[in-house]
Amino acid sequence: MMVMQYYKSLDKYKKAFWIYLFLLFVEGSMRKWFMPSLSNVWMMCREPIVIWTVLSLMNTKYLKSIVAKSFMVIGCIMFLTTLTLGHQNVMVALFGFRIWFFHIPYIFIMSNKLNREDLIRICKFLILVFIPMTVLYVMQWGAPPSSWLNASVGGIVAEEGTQAAYGAVRPSGTFILGLGAAYYNPVVVSIFVACMYSSFYKKELMLFKKELLFLAISIVVTLAVSVSRGTVVQSAVCAIVVALFVALTGKTTYLKKLLVGFSLIYILFTVVSKVDIDGKNLMAPITDRFETAAAQEGGSSGIMETRVLEPYKFWNDKGKLLDPPLFGYGIGAGSNYGTQTLHLVNSSFDDSTAWGLGEWSSQIVTNEMGFLFGGVVFCLRMGLCLYLLFVSVKKLFRNNDVLPL
């Protein structure tokens, strides 16, 4: 009842945002399991919301960010250069254009539209979804690659005998790819960290008495079955960085919570490491991935470089410096849709670009846009991140508000 009252009190743009958020979790399941024949339709299910919102609020106070407008201008320029100097495929160009002109500005618009109450409810929603999602992760992890639970786009399942990491599949949950879970899980970790340090957030976000304990168990289990070094490293970096900053505040209450939190996580990991499912240890696949990667990438420092610094490098995973044309190969080309439509993976592009080699943002953006506009995008992103870090630390020291950080 309270949920419906809250929803009815929202304006049309906030209501559309909640539909967008819901679709973010539903889209993958529809494309994999329930309506695989309409996979391409479901892929674009959130587009009407984003396009309508941006066009409606483009000239209002909700979209005054210089960063957002810069991305929109760059998107327009790159759309023209793509059709004249790039790959010249209109559909792929539009696929890439929509990100720069609609989806990124949408983030800035909704950050101004949504308020503190909305944020609290969003966090509650993410937590509530995460606990049953963990059960699905474990089921996918334990199922063979050929199981319907591990189907990909269009309901396609792997052939019998397909190998996985140490016998375990990297779970994707209701998302279409494991990458979706790899981004969602650390977001929940950040909310959990905020609850550990702040009694305010613990009171606001936890709906029942033992929910924080259930959330802690879900996070540890998720990290164990993720078979994703990125998920583990992002979560660890979040916890450690926040711990360092709250320690700098010098408040003993924070320090006590810090010790309790890390002790709890250590105990849970110890317990989980003893659990076997169908003769398969929960921790074995992710541990094996770290050990194998350490041997291939030069130890722990190599793993950190790959998982943390790789997105900011301008060379591919074979050590070759990217060498795109001045205006790049064209926007949209680095997406899955672009590589399939333009047949780039097995072409000459493969030798000099990241198309068939990596998934890192700087490589893809630089290849699509060239070093000129790719460099501008890189600087804008880094500047925005540094600004957000500055204001978040200021919030922590002034208001004891740990969630922004």
Helix 361-399, helix 229-248: angle, nearest 10: 30
pLDDT for position 196: 85
Contacts of 59 (CB under 8 A, 6+ apart): none
Residue 168: what are its φ and ψ, rounded to 5°?
Answer: -120, 145
CA-wise closest residue to 103 among 29, 36, 42, 51:
51
Q: What is the mean pLDDT of residues 19-24?
A: 95
Residue 347 has pLDDT above 60, yes or no: no
Q: What is the mean pLDDT of residues 49-71?
A: 94
pLDDT for position 53: 96
Residue 104 has pLDDT above 80, yes or no: yes
pLDDT for position 166: 63
pLDDT for position 191: 93
Largest CA distance in the chain: 61
Q: What is the CA angle 199-201-202, rounded to 5? A: 60
Tell me the per-residue pLDDT of 369-386, one tens digit each, with 9 for 90 and over: 888 898 899 899 999 999
pLDDT for position 394: 93
For residues 312 and 257, give the distance between their C-alpha atoms in angstroms, rounded to a whole number.
34
pLDDT over 90, % of the chain: 35
pLDDT for position 239: 85
pLDDT for position 223: 87
Side chain identity at residue 315, one-letter code: W
Residue 373: what are its φ and ψ, rounded to 5°?
Answer: -75, -30
Q: Say what the pTM is.
A: 0.86
Q: What is the mean pLDDT of residues 396-400?
A: 88
Tell me the per-residue pLDDT of 167-226, one tens digit each, with 9 for 90 and over: 678 889 999 888 888 889 989 999 998 988 888 898 899 888 788 888 988 998 898 888
pLDDT for position 182: 86
CA-wise closest residue to 165 among 272, 283, 276, 286:
286
For residues 115 and 255, give the distance between their C-alpha atoms in angstroms, rounded to a whole number.
30
Tell me the per-residue pLDDT of 220-272, one tens digit each, with 9 for 90 and over: 889 888 888 778 888 888 888 888 888 888 776 777 777 777 787 778 778 77
Per-residue pLDDT band at 299 (split at 50, 70, 90): low
> What is the chain's mean pLDDT, rounded?
83
For residues 333 and 355, give the distance between their C-alpha atoms in angstroms, rounded to a whole number.
8
Best mean pLDDT range from 136-145, 225-234, 302-311, 343-352: 136-145
pLDDT for position 342: 82
pLDDT for position 120: 93
Q: What is the mean pLDDT of residues 290-310?
A: 63
CA-wise closest residue to 171 among 280, 27, 279, 286:
286
